[in-house]
């Protein structure tokens, strides 16, 4: 899934970006509130990680503006402001969760998973379709009880398809899930990852809807 990180501290931002990408997320990183607002106007994200002390436009102002515009993106405030009034203000303005710096990266990733799971209406993090089982927290996949070894891209691709079994996702939608702004995308990258995923799962699991995209189904 694709996340927007709004963080002006270069060391903290770089650490968060690296950790989230290693956990399988695509990340776009903005350094000020105006750039974050523009990104939200021009793209769709599964979650916004929002620092409050941003230049050009502070985090609470940005949060107020996007909620007034009707943007429902889940927001996790990540800030050094640990005073109760700041937390209350953020939650009352439409934030979904609050994490105080410094924090453990594993906790950040767990909260991201919890918020995106809640947004998609799933009570559990695990995804299942027939004999296929994907655990996004452990980053493990099993087919009929046997473990499957997938690359990071293959795992993220399978996770995207399993979020809505039977729903068709276009190549562009899948690219958005796998890649951030600064990552170069080859023209046939999605097709290559899908080919490798089919080889490991079995070709019948992933179907091509000609001219539209791809979907995952349980083989008959």
187 — pLDDT class (breaks 50, 70, 90): confident
Q: Which residues contact 87 (CB under 8 A, 6 or more apart)?
A: 77, 81, 98
The enclosing domain of 36 has a CATH number of 3.40.50.2300
pTM of the predicted model, to two decimals? 0.74
State which residues form the domain around 20: 2-119
Distance CA 173, CA 169 (A): 6
**Are 115 and 138 in the same domain?**
no
Q: What is the CATH number of the domain that holds 171?
A: 1.10.10.10
Backbone angles phi, psi at 97, to 5 degrees: -160, 170
User: What's the pLDDT band for 104 if we cut at 50, 70, 90?
Assistant: very high
105 and 140 belong to one structural domain = no
Write the pLDDT tens digit of every residue in 86-102. 888 889 999 999 999 99
Using CB atoms within 10 A of its CB, is residue 87 exposed (0-12), middle (13-18) or buried (19+)? middle
Assess whether 14 and 107 both reside in one domain.
yes
Whether the link from the prior residue into 102 is cis, omega within 30° of 0, is: yes
Cα 96 to Cα 18, 40, 50, 87, 212: the distances in Å are: 23, 17, 11, 11, 34
Provide the number of structural domains found in the chain.
Answer: 2
Which of the listed residues 78, 94, 119 is the one where a domain comes to its end? 119
**Which residues, in sequence order, are CB contacts of 12 under 8 Å at separation 6+?**
101
Among 119, 148, 176, residue at a domain's last position: 119
Domain match, 72 and 8 both: yes
């Amino acid at each position: 899934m694709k996340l927007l990180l709004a963080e002006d501290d270069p060391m903290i931002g770089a650490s968060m970006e690296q950790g989230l990408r290693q956990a399988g997320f695509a990340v776009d990183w903005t350094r000020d509130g105006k750039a974050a607002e523009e990104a939200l106007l021009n793209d769709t994200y599964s979650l916004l990680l929002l620092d409050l002390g941003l230049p050009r436009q502070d985090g609470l102002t940005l949060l107020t503006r996007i909620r007034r515009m009707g943007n429902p993106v889940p927001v996790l405030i990540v800030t050094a402001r640990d005073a109760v009034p700041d937390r209350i203000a953020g939650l009352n303005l439409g934030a979904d969760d609050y994490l105080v710096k410094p924090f453990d990266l594993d906790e950040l990733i767990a909260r991201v998973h919890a918020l995106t799971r809640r947004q998609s209406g799933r009570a559990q993090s695990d995804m299942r379709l027939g004999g296929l089982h994907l655990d996004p927290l452990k980053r493990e996949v099993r087919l009929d009880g046997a473990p499957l070894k997938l690359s990071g891209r293959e795992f993220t691709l399978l996770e995207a398809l399993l979020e809505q079994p039977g729903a068709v996702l276009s190549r562009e939608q899948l690219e958005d899930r796998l890649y951030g702004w600064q990552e170069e995308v080859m023209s046939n990258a999605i097709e290559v990852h899908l080919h490798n995923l089919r080889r490991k799962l079995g070709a019948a699991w992933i179907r091509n809807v000609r001219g539209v995209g791809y979907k995952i189904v349980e083989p008959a």
